[in-house]
């Protein structure tokens, strides 16, 4: 039988009358090796502050509240939250020496350019440097652990600058883990490599958990940094019935019909008519009908990745490269591309680009431009590193753009992780922190936390994932 321990300090907790109105409720036990039968659980309706208990080594799991919310979330509700965004450091905590160049070991410019921009993403780098993943990793062949070693080589723990460029052997040696299609000494596509690399790191994050629902899989550190949600809306033109789906994304691939990123985004969110061979059956009308389709951004990630589709096909289905300059700015205003109307502007700052040079999509050369922790821009061309101006950065034939949520934007609160995730009124979290008392035994300390917020309205007001 479970026992509840209720504190009676009136200065900190509810009086007797309030306590009687709110009977003690217990949350589900975490059924894994961490869940011990003799563990006492603090009642759900006793609220404790997360601010005084957060540590750098915490692992946070979140369970559904025993009380369901009256409001329904358009985004699937996870059974467990694998990583809490409030552990991320979205800005550089110090000025770090510039990362060194990477030696090309045989057509690996695509790999080098991707590693360079990822090595200049503040929340990603600082999470890797902290070694959170490797300290509890259970995989024998883990690309996440390899990335930790690579970033540690870029930024030595003693704060010194690596004297020379080095070969990224931690990653090159693990190409077969990332994807079997990547072969040593063969030119590959940088965007495909970026997707596969993050995808394999995602697999490392969920490896210890079996039969995870999709919503829970989208709560890893990879999705908390790079992942957002779209809203894809279709409207039956016969009965006007509207259906919405909310797919997750790690990057947005943009067709280049205009001359700027803004025009490409306009094209991405424009309405599309589904007629003739594209018609499909309406669930209400029960017949094939014309539909109107529109995509928009429902939730933005901290780091927004834009892939510019620099290829086109002629009538003979021969692929050619789009070489014209596509304008992009130091900042990107995204308010008009959101699903919901926003009162405050949503601003993102450019932090990195990958360039593909050459007139053929099947060959050429990749290099990158990255914004460092002191705000200067560096040009990384394999092992060659040079300082460049912002004007030079903005004149490139960009293939991939990385934008970071601006610190100057007034639409978000970095401490509101729970508010931005799911649309229900109360979210209960169980935090456990493993404490080593001796070499033979470990004791898990569990703390029950509760938040009461109108999460649905917060997401609609901001559209930003914390």
Question: CATH for 109-235+239-405?
Answer: 3.90.70.10
**Helix, strand, coil in percent for the chain, rounding step 5:** 25, 25, 50
Average pLDDT across the chain, whole number: 77
SS3 79: coil
More confident residue, 1 or 426: 1
The separation between the first and the last C-alpha atoms of the chain, rounded to the nearest angstrom, is 38
Predicted confidence (pLDDT) at residue 49 exceeds the cutoff of 60: no
d(CA 42, CA 430): 10
Q: Are 273 and 267 in contact (CB under 8 A)?
A: no
Lowest mean pLDDT among 52-66, 103-117, 238-252, 346-360: 52-66
For the CA atoms of 406, 422, 299, 199, the dihedral, rounded to the nearest 10 degrees, stands at: 90
CA distance 149 to 146: 5
Query: What is the structure's pLDDT at 293?
Result: 92
Q: Residues spanned by CATH 3.90.70.10 within the chain?
A: 109-235+239-405
Would you state the pLDDT for residue 74?
85
- Torsion sign across C-alpha atoms 264, 268, 274, 276: positive
Could you confirm whether 236 is annotated as catalytic? no
What is the C-alpha radius of gyration for the chain, rounded to an integer number of angstroms? 24
Strands 272-274 and 280-281: unpaired
Residue the block writes with tokens 């995730």: 421
Confidence of residue 333 (pLDDT cuts 50, 70, 90): very high
Could you say which of 29, 90, 365, 433 is catalytic? 365
How does residue 279 score in pLDDT terms, banded at 50, 70 and 90?
Answer: confident
List the catalytic residue out of 61, 109, 133, 145.
Answer: 109
Q: How much is the pLDDT for 25?
A: 56
Question: Does the pLDDT at position 127 exceed 90?
Answer: yes
Measured CA to CA, the distance from residue 466 to residue 464 in angstroms comes to: 6
Comparing CA positions, the residue from 244, 226, 224 lying closest to residue 234 is 244
Whether residue 346 is predicted with pLDDT greater than 80 in this model: the reply is yes
pTM confidence score: 0.74
Give the model's pLDDT for residue 418: 36
Check pLDDT > 70 for residue 86: yes
The mean pLDDT value for 190-207 works out to 95
29 is catalytic: no
pLDDT at position 163 is 65
């Amino acid at each position: 039988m479970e026992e509840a321990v209720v504190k009676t300090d009136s200065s900190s907790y509810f009086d007797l009358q309030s306590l009687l109105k709110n009977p003690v409720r217990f949350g589900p036990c975490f059924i894994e090796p961490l869940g011990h039968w003799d563990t006492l659980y603090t009642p759900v309706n006793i609220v404790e502050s997360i601010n005084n208990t957060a540590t750098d080594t915490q692992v946070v799991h979140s369970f559904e509240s025993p009380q369901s919310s009256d409001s329904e979330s358009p985004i699937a509700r996870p059974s467990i939250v694998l990583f809490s965004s409030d552990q991320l450091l979205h800005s550089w905590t110090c000025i770090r020496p510039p990362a060194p160049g990477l030696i090309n070991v045989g057509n690996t410019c695509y790999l080098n350019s991707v590693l360079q921009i990822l090595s200049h993403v503040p929340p990603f780098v600082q999470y890797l440097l902290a070694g959170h993943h490797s300290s509890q990793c259970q995989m024998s062949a883990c690309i996440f652990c390899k990335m930790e070693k690579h970033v540690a080589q870029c930024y030595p723990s003693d704060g010194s600058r690596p004297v020379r460029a080095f070969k990224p052997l931690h990653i090159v040696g693990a190409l077969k883990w990332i994807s079997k299609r990547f072969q040593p000494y063969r030119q590959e596509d940088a965007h495909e490599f970026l997707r596969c690399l993050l995808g394999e790191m995602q697999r490392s994050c969920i490896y210890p958990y079996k039969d995870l629902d999709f919503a829970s899989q989208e709560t890893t550190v990879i999705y908390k940094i790079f992942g957002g949600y779209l809203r894809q809306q279709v409207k039956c033109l016969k009965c006007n019935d509207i259906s919405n789906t909310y797919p997750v994304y790690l990057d947005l691939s943009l067709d280049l019909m205009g001359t700027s990123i803004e025009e490409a985004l306009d094209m991405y969110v424009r309405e599309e008519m589904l007629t003739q061979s594209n018609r499909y059956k309406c669930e209400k009308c029960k017949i094939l009908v014309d539909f109107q389709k529109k995509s928009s951004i429902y939730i933005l990630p901290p780091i927004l990745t834009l892939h510019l589709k620099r290829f086109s096909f002629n009538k003979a289905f021969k692929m050619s490269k789009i070489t014209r300059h596509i304008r992009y700015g130091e900042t990107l205003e995204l308010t008009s591309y959101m699903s919901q109307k926003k009162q405050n502007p949503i601003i993102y700052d450019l932090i990195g680009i990958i360039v593909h040079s050459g007139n053929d999509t099947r060959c050429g050369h990749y290099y990158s431009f990255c914004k460092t922790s002191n705000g200067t821009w560096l040009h990384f061309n394999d092992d060659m590193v040079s300082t460049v101006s912002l004007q030079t950065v903005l004149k490139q034939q960009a293939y991939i753009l990385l934008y970071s949520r601006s610190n100057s934007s007034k639409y978000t609160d970095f401490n509101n992780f729970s508010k931005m995730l799911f649309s229900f009124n109360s979210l209960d979290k169980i935090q456990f922190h493993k404490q080593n008392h001796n070499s033979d035994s470990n004791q898990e300390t569990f703390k029950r936390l509760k938040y009461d917020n109108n999460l649905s309205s917060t997401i609609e007001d901001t559209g930003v994932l914390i």
